[in-house]
Amino acid sequence: MSSFLDPCAKCEEVLQPFLDRELTEEERHAAESHLDACGYCRKRYRFEESLRRYVRQAWDEPMPPDLKAKLAELRTPLL
Protein backbone atom coordinates (compact mmCIF):
# COMPACT_ATOMS: atom_id res chain seq x y z
CA MET A 1 0.00 0.00 0.00
CA SER A 2 1.34 3.42 -0.89
CA SER A 3 2.47 5.58 2.01
CA PHE A 4 0.40 8.42 0.51
CA LEU A 5 -2.75 6.35 1.03
CA ASP A 6 -1.74 5.04 4.46
CA PRO A 7 -1.08 7.88 6.91
CA CYS A 8 0.69 5.54 9.37
CA ALA A 9 3.10 4.37 6.65
CA LYS A 10 3.78 8.01 5.71
CA CYS A 11 4.34 8.86 9.38
CA GLU A 12 6.80 5.99 9.74
CA GLU A 13 8.57 7.17 6.58
CA VAL A 14 9.15 10.64 8.05
CA LEU A 15 9.66 9.65 11.70
CA GLN A 16 13.47 9.75 11.66
CA PRO A 17 13.66 13.04 9.71
CA PHE A 18 11.03 14.41 12.12
CA LEU A 19 13.17 13.45 15.11
CA ASP A 20 16.21 14.94 13.36
CA ARG A 21 14.26 18.16 12.69
CA GLU A 22 14.88 17.83 8.96
CA LEU A 23 11.30 18.28 7.74
CA THR A 24 9.81 21.32 6.12
CA GLU A 25 7.30 23.29 8.16
CA GLU A 26 4.45 21.69 6.19
CA GLU A 27 5.80 18.15 6.66
CA ARG A 28 6.39 18.75 10.36
CA HIS A 29 2.85 20.04 10.82
CA ALA A 30 1.41 17.00 9.00
CA ALA A 31 3.48 14.62 11.14
CA GLU A 32 2.48 16.38 14.37
CA SER A 33 -1.19 16.30 13.36
CA HIS A 34 -0.98 12.58 12.68
CA LEU A 35 0.88 11.91 15.95
CA ASP A 36 -1.79 13.86 17.85
CA ALA A 37 -4.53 11.69 16.33
CA CYS A 38 -2.88 8.24 16.17
CA GLY A 39 -2.02 6.38 19.36
CA TYR A 40 -0.03 3.71 17.53
CA CYS A 41 2.27 6.19 15.79
CA ARG A 42 2.56 8.29 18.95
CA LYS A 43 3.73 5.16 20.80
CA ARG A 44 6.33 4.48 18.07
CA TYR A 45 7.48 8.11 18.26
CA ARG A 46 7.93 7.90 22.04
CA PHE A 47 9.87 4.65 21.66
CA GLU A 48 12.21 6.13 19.05
CA GLU A 49 12.68 9.27 21.12
CA SER A 50 13.54 7.28 24.27
CA LEU A 51 15.84 4.98 22.29
CA ARG A 52 17.77 8.00 21.00
CA ARG A 53 18.03 9.37 24.54
CA TYR A 54 19.30 6.00 25.82
CA VAL A 55 21.90 5.74 23.04
CA ARG A 56 23.14 9.29 23.79
CA GLN A 57 23.48 8.44 27.49
CA ALA A 58 25.22 5.13 26.79
CA TRP A 59 27.62 6.86 24.44
CA ASP A 60 28.71 9.23 27.20
CA GLU A 61 29.37 6.50 29.76
CA PRO A 62 32.94 5.16 29.75
CA MET A 63 33.35 1.42 29.36
CA PRO A 64 34.62 -0.30 32.54
CA PRO A 65 38.25 -1.44 32.08
CA ASP A 66 37.46 -5.11 32.89
CA LEU A 67 34.73 -5.20 30.23
CA LYS A 68 37.07 -3.55 27.74
CA ALA A 69 39.71 -6.23 28.48
CA LYS A 70 37.18 -9.08 28.08
CA LEU A 71 36.04 -7.70 24.74
CA ALA A 72 39.65 -7.35 23.59
CA GLU A 73 40.22 -11.04 24.42
CA LEU A 74 37.28 -12.00 22.22
CA ARG A 75 38.58 -10.06 19.25
CA THR A 76 39.74 -12.19 16.35
CA PRO A 77 42.47 -10.98 14.01
CA LEU A 78 41.43 -9.72 10.60
CA LEU A 79 42.73 -11.77 7.71
pLDDT tens column, 9-45: 999 999 999 999 999 999 999 999 999 999 999 999 9
Query: pLDDT digit string (tens) for 49-76?
Result: 999 988 888 777 788 899 889 988 888 7
Per the CB < 8 A criterion, the answer to whether 8 and 38 are in contact is: yes
Residue spans per domain, the chain: 7-74
Dihedral in degrees, nearest 10, Cα atoms 35, 47, 58, 73:
-140
Q: Which amino acid is at 25?
A: E
CA-to-CA separations, 41 to 12, 19, 55, 76, in angstroms, rounded: 8, 13, 21, 42
Cβ neighbours for 56, distance < 8 A, ≥ 6 positions apart: none
Q: Is the pTM of this model over 0.85?
A: no
